[in-house]
Chains A and B, each alone.
Chain A
Amino acid sequence: MTTSARTADRPLDWYNRYARHIALEEVGESGQLALNAASVLVIGTGGLGSPVAYYLTAAGVGTLGLVDFDTVSLNNLQRQILHGTSDEGRPKVQSAWETLREINPEVTVRLYQEKLTTANALDLVKEYDLVVDASDNFNTRFLINDVCVQAKKPLVFGAVLQFAGQVTVFTQEEDCGCYRCLFPEAPPPELVPTCAEAGIFGVTPGVIGSLQASQVLILILSRSGHQAGKILKNRLLVYDGKEAAFRTIQLARNPECPVCSQPDFDFRQVEYLDTCVIPSSSETAKRTKVQQVDLDIAMVES
């Protein structure tokens, strides 16, 4: 039973499905339509990507792109809630799609069972309104940042380790920094352990991924003229699950950032290995540009 008055020529099911959004002054029918018209690329369908994709699908974001080359392992299931026990060994994007279409079959889901690389990143990102970093390694995170800067796509960043999480939004506006303004390079592998090495409290990515989803929705709404909330622009939200505490740290754009402050920056000049160092201008000049290759992407649309 719907709780909102039906005022336009849309199916009754639409009003029913999104009734609690439509009832919000900050969303309403026009906001819901903006969500329905939006497209979001989610890179990673693991611990962070699971809640992100769940909530964006339930919210009726029109088109979701899911990028993940990996298959489901039993040790994923403690936190990667898109996938179930019977999915072990199956492609994560396939498992994710089957879960998501049950939640909301009106959402178009595009599946990319691929690694994100310098060869495919720009073609993928430019098809979407905004990007969610739900990846699990520094190489991919720096690549996502760099391609989003170049394509001027807003990026909703989230990362977790053990009981800790970080969330921020890089809007790609003139006054907003990027991930490299905050952390110019990746750490040597021995200094920051992976979740496989250090462990991850299962609900931590649930908290951070939910915050990412919230920021995505607020960003879509604000870009369509709805004042639904504040964006974490130039602010890093830091979560401590052991203390049940959040901190917000003010960030600033680095006027000498080798990525977002360089108009001629080209992410395809960077080797995304280990520390993801930006080559100096002399090295860049010597380096042969990485060849763009045709995408070979398994794409499924529901």
Chain B
Amino acid sequence: MPARFEFLGPLKQLVEGQDVVEVEATSVGGALEELQQRYSELSKRLLAEDGTLHRHINIFVNEEDIRFRENLQTALTAGDQITVISAIAGG
């Protein structure tokens, strides 16, 4: 069973507006590499030049912030729910 990614808010545009994107991968970083093959703008918007997650982006694996786990090395298992959000500032 693949992991299920949800990109919320403006980030949804990165995956062509899809509600859920399914990925077979063993880590969050691996999943993002896989998604990059499908969606060319994705890495640039989520990752800094050094390959780390931009600090205005948050990824939650089953509601847990990957910054408090192993960042992009955080392991994925079948059926994990991954939520990706970006800081926004408009008012």
A-to-B contact residues, CB < 8 Å: 44, 46-49, 133-138, 141, 158-162, 164, 166, 182-187, 191-195, 198, 200, 205, 236, 238, 240, 243, 247, 249-252, 254, 275
Contacts and interface: CB of A to CB of B under 8 A. Distances in A.
A230 to B, nearest CB: 17
Contacts of B4: none
Interface stretch (B22-30, B31-39, B63-71, B72-80): B63-71
Interface residues of B, number: 24
Given A185-B55, A187-B56, A191-B54, A136 B89 contact: yes
B87 A250 contact: no
Q: Is the interface of B mostly helix, strand, loop or mixed?
A: mixed
B55 A184 contact: yes
A43 to B, nearest CB: 9
B10 A198 contact: yes
B60 A249 contact: yes
Contacts of B89: 135-138, 141, 159, 161, 186, 192, 194
A205 B10 contact: no
11 contacts: A44-B91, A47-B91, A159-B88, A161-B10, A166-B85, A186-B56, A186-B87, A198-B90, A243-B19, A247-B8, A252-B65
Contacts of A187: 54-57, 86-87
A191 B56 contact: yes
A138 B91 CA distance: 10
Given A238-B8, A249-B63, A48 B91 contact: yes
A195 B9 CA distance: 13
Contacts of B87: 138, 159, 182-183, 186-187, 192
Given A187-B87, A192-B10, 7 more contacts: A164-B8, A182-B87, A183-B55, A191-B56, A195-B90, A243-B19, A250-B60
A238 B91 CA distance: 15
Contacts of A194: 89-90
